[in-house]
Structure 1
Amino acid sequence: KNAEELVYQYTRAGFTKIHLDTSMKVADDPEGVLSTETIARRGVKLYQVCMRAYEDLLKENPEAVRPVFIIGSEVPIPGGAQEAEDTLSVTSPEAFEDTVNTYRRMFKEADAGDGWKDVIAVVVQPGVEFGDDQVFLYDSKAAEALTEQLKKYPEVVFEGHSTDYQSAESLRDMVTDGICILKVGPSLTYAMREAVFALSMMEKELVPAEEQAYLIETLEHVMTDEPGNWQKHYHGSLKELALARKYSFSDRARYYMGDKKVIAAIDKLFGNLRRYTIPMNMLHQYMPLQFDKVRTGSLSMDPKALVQDAILQFLYDYEYAAGYDTDAQIIRGVAEL
Structure 2
Amino acid sequence: MSALLQMLSEHKKGRAVGICSVCSAHPLVIKATLSHAQRTGGYALIEATSNQVNQDGGYTGMQPGDFRRLVLELAEEAGLSADKVLLGGDHLGPNCWQSLPAEQAMEKSEVLIRQYVEAGFVKIHLDCSMSCDGDPVPLSDAIVAERAARLCRVAEEAWRRVDGEAPVYIVGTEVPVPGGATEDLAELEVTAPEAAAATIEAHYQSFKALGLDDAWPRVMGLVVQPGVEFDHHKVVDYNPPAAAELSRSIESYPYMLFEAHSTDYQTPQNLKRLVEDHFAILKVGPGVTFAMREALWALDAIEREWFGDSASDLRRVVLAEMEREPKYWKSYYASEGNLLLLDKQYSLSDRVRYYWSRPTVVEAMAVMEKNFREQTPPLTMVSQYLPSQYSAVRSGDITFDVESIVVHKVQEVLSQYAAACTE
Same fold (TM over 0.5): yes
Structure 1 residue 2: Cα displacement: 2.3
Range with greater deviation from structure 2 (197-206 or 18-27): 18-27
Q: Report the Cα distance in structure 1 between the residues aligned to 2:257 and 2:211, rounded to whole angstroms.
A: 24
Structure 1 residue 230: Cα displacement: 0.7
1:286-301 equivalences in 2 (<5 Å): 286-301=385-400
Structure 1 residue 305: Cα displacement: 1.0
Q: Report the Cα distance in structure 2 between the residues aligned to 1:41 and 1:185, rounded to whole angstroms.
A: 28
Q: Deviations over 1:162-216 (max 9, x none)?
A: 1111112211111111111111111111111110110111112211x32121111
- Give the aligned partner of residue 215 of structure 1: 314
Q: Report the Cα distance in structure 2 between the residues aligned to 1:274 and 1:20, rounded to whole angstroms.
A: 44
Q: Deviations over 1:125-160 (max 9, x none)?
A: 111111211111211111111101111113101011
Q: Contact (CA 8 Å) 1:107, 1:114: kept in 2 or not? A: no
Q: Contact (CA 8 Å) 1:198, 1:287: kept in 2 or not? A: yes
Structure 1 residue 219: Cα displacement: 1.1
- Give the aligned partner of residue 256 of structure 2: 156
Q: Deviations over 1:8-52 (max 9, x none)?
A: 2222222211112222234454x3432212221222222112111
Say which of 82, 89, 94 aligns to 2:182.
82
Report the TM-score, using the length of structure 1 for normalisation. Answer: 0.90
Range with greater deviation from structure 2 (3-12 or 185-194): 3-12
Say which of 109, 125, 139 aligns to 1:34.
139
Structure 1 residue 252: Cα displacement: 0.6
Structure 1 residue 95: Cα displacement: 0.7
Partner SS state of residue 65, structure 1: coil
Q: 1:308 to 1:22 in 2, by over 3 A?
A: same
- Which amino acid counterpart does residue 321 of structure 2 have in structure 1? V
State the structure with more CA Rg: 1
The unaligned stretches of length 5 or more in structure 1 are 59-63, 325-337
**Do residues 191 (structure 1) and 191 (structure 2) align?**
no
Q: Report the Cα distance in structure 2 between the residues aligned to 1:214 and 1:271, rounded to whole angstroms.
A: 13
Q: 1:287 to 1:146 in 2, by over 3 A?
A: same
Q: Report the Cα distance in structure 1 between the residues aligned to 2:309 and 2:391, rounded to whole angstroms.
A: 32
- Give the aligned partner of residue 126 of structure 1: 226
1:297-336 equivalences in 2 (<5 Å): 297-323=396-422
Q: Report the Cα distance in structure 2 between the residues aligned to 1:295 and 1:310, rounded to whole angstroms.
A: 15
- Give the aligned partner of residue 108 of structure 2: 2
Q: Deviations over 1:88-146 (max 9, x none)?
A: 11111111000112222222333333332121110111111112111112111111111
Report the TM-score, using the length of structure 2 for normalisation. Answer: 0.72
Aligned residues: 317
1:223-242 equivalences in 2 (<5 Å): 223-242=322-341
- Structure 1 stretches of 4+ moved >6 Å: none
Q: Contact (CA 8 Å) 1:246, 1:253: kept in 2 or not? A: yes
